[in-house]
């Protein structure tokens, strides 16, 4: 996630595909000087979050967060890993950044699970 030279905000890739029943680790990196978030409200009902893992810059574990998660906010130049297993299929579900103005600037995409 980030902002390009023209001021357009983006998720890269802006479409994610997952297979139900498989375990994934989604690495979310914010390359900007300000925070962004990944909100996947529809999706979160349909997958099982194992944990969110946050490490310090030197690789030490800062926190593991467990339970149902719908949004992950990532601070400037930080990386968060979201571990989950999709448990229901669904096509083209929304993901977006809900910080004011960011979705309008292009920060949205879709998620498909098959």
Nearest-approach distance from CB 76 to Cu ion, in angstroms: 11
97 binds Cu ion (CB under 5 A): yes
Nearest-approach distance from CB 46 to Cu ion, in angstroms: 23
In angstroms, the CA 1 to CA 29 distance is 6
Per-residue binder mask for Cu ion (CB under 5 A), 21-40, x = binder: ---------------x----
Q: Which is nearer to Cu ion, 15 or 66 (CB)?
A: 15
Cis ω for the linkage preceding 13 (within 30 of 0): yes
Which of 26, 31, 69, 99 binds Cu ion (CB under 5 A)? It is: 99
Decide: 98 and 39 in contact? Cβ < 8 Å. Answer: yes
- Contacts of residues 49-52 at CB distance under 8 Å and 24 or more positions apart, as own/partner, are 49/82, 49/83, 49/84, 50/23, 50/83, 50/84, 50/85, 51/83, 52/80, 52/81, 52/82, 52/83
Nearest-approach distance from CB 100 to Cu ion, in angstroms: 9
The stretch near Cu ion (CB under 5 A) out of 12-20, 47-55, 78-86, 104-112 is 104-112
Chain positions contacting Cu ion, by CB under 5 A: 36, 97, 99, 102, 107
């Amino acid at each position: 996630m980030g902002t390009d030279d023209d001021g357009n905000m983006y998720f890269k890739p802006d479409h994610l595909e997952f297979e139900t029943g498989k375990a994934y680790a989604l690495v979310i990196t914010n390359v900007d000087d300000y925070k962004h978030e990944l909100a996947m409200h529809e999706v979160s009902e349909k997958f099982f979050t194992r944990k969110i893992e946050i490490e310090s810059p030197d690789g030490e574990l800062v926190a593991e967060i467990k339970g149902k998660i719908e949004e992950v906010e990532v601070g400037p130049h930080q990386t968060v890993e979201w571990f989950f297993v999709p448990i229901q299929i669904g096509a083209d579900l929304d993901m977006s950044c809900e910080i004011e103005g960011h979705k309008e600037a292009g920060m949205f995409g879709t998620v498909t699970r098959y």
